Amino acid sequence: MFNRFFGKFSKDIAIDLGTANTLVYVKDKGIVINEPTVVAINLRTEQILAVGQEAKNMLGKTPPHILVTRPLSKGIISDYEVAEKMLKYFIDKVHEDGISVMARPRIIICVPLEVTEVEMKAVEDGAISAGAREVIVVQEPMAAAIGARMPIQDPVGNMIVDIGGGNTEVAVISLSGIVTWKSIPIAGDEMNRNIIQYAREVFNLFVGEGHAEQIKIKIGSAGAMDEKTEFPMRGRDVITGLPKEIMISSEHIKEALSRSVREIVDSIKMTLEVTPPELTADIHERGILLTGGGSLLRGLNNVISHATEIPVRIADDPLTSVVRGTGALLEADELLAEIILPSARNSRKR
């Protein structure tokens, strides 16, 4: 009875709680929030100062009493209290045009493939504490495949590679289930660290994470490009300790990212090696789908296609595939029933 009562004042929402970005989809409205998963906290008052892009802009620029933190690491909640506050902030923001005190939404939220029961319970507890009346958990690659309109309910092999901020997940899906999969902690954040390490080792330059990400977006590539492009790399000289700027080329960044790209390719090949032959034949015919922010790295689709000898395509708007798929589940009860994960909260009660 209470669920029905609170449901009248609430909007069903879907959340892609990512390491790099959090996206929120509201039923009948679409994507209403797309913000970096970053929170700024005043340690003296324990109050949240900023969430999302505003907090990300503070990274590396704060005094000691202000902590800018990412509450998720590799797709998993690493700071429960901050994650709960962030979720509550987003839920309240969705309901700010209504009666937010009465808002108790039903939430569908995604988790990585390699999630443990304890980690899944943290996600469910965090959402409940933030104000959800019901939490439904689904696997991220399943949601991404639905968002990319793959025929996951059919008896055919669908291969999806979701390259996010914290990890890369490779999954072969058939008949609404994941047949084979592999997850590695190599994705967008690791690529940023590759650039930071390369700058220090090759150019004796300390570079911030935000600037490394900017370089990756501007001139990063996985393979050889037709045109060599350049971009200024700014940081602190390791030897003198003074500010320094140098011009780097796309070839430098390709070299910096080569190890991460190789590991992603290897994980795809290893997944294919353990996939049943009938499904492998389907994948060879239908191709591999890339999604997630990391799929936008220039030339990555060509590198994967060359290594696997399988056509590779990038999803339309790969950054939002997961949340669009999760949002579609808000109105697809039959499909949701097929792919929903058992609640970790209920299993603990038993």
Share of the chain above pLDDT 90, in %: 79
Of 38, 133, 30, whose CA–CA distance to 78 is shortest? 38
CA–CA distance, 200 with 305 (Å, rounded to integer): 32
**Residue 300, domain extent:** 150-186+262-319
Regarding whether 129 and 92 lie in a shared domain, the answer is: yes
- Summarize pLDDT for 82-101 with one digit per residue, the tens: 999 899 999 888 887 654 44
Regarding whether 301 and 194 lie in a shared domain, the answer is: no
Whether residue 102 has pLDDT greater than 90 = no
CB 174 within 8 A of CB 157: yes
For 139, the enclosing helix (H) or strand (E) is strand 134-139
Choose between 128 and 226: higher pLDDT: 128
Regarding whether 267 and 177 lie in a shared domain, the answer is: yes
Regarding whether 270 and 240 lie in a shared domain, the answer is: no
- Summarize pLDDT for 148-203 with one digit per residue, the tens: 999 999 999 999 999 999 999 999 999 999 999 999 999 999 999 999 999 999 99
Whether residue 336 has pLDDT greater than 90 = yes
Regarding whether 214 and 175 lie in a shared domain, the answer is: no
Name the band, by pLDDT with cuts 50, 70 and 90, for residue 340: very high
Average pLDDT over residues 309-323: 96
Rounded to 5 degrees, what are φ and ψ at 47? -95, 145
Regarding whether 196 and 175 lie in a shared domain, the answer is: no
* Domain of residue 244, CATH code: 3.90.640.10
Give pLDDT, residue 76: 87
Regarding whether 123 and 30 lie in a shared domain, the answer is: yes
CB 261 within 8 A of CB 303: yes
Order of strands across the sheet that contains 288-291? 177-184, 168-174, 158-163, 288-291, 312-314
Regarding whether 10 and 49 lie in a shared domain, the answer is: yes
* Domain of residue 63, CATH code: 3.30.420.40
Q: What pairing do the DSSP bridges indicate for beta strands 168-174 and 158-163? A: antiparallel
Q: What is the pTM assigned to this prediction?
A: 0.90
Regarding whether 299 and 205 lie in a shared domain, the answer is: no
Regarding whether 178 and 45 lie in a shared domain, the answer is: no
Regarding whether 44 and 92 lie in a shared domain, the answer is: yes
- Of 203, 224, 257, the residue at which a domain comes to its end is 257
Regarding whether 56 and 135 lie in a shared domain, the answer is: yes
Of 32, 35, 116, 20, whose CA–CA distance to 71 is shortest? 20
CB 198 within 8 A of CB 255: yes
Average pLDDT over residues 236-260: 95
Number of domains in the chain: 3
Name the band, by pLDDT with cuts 50, 70 and 90, for residue 343: confident
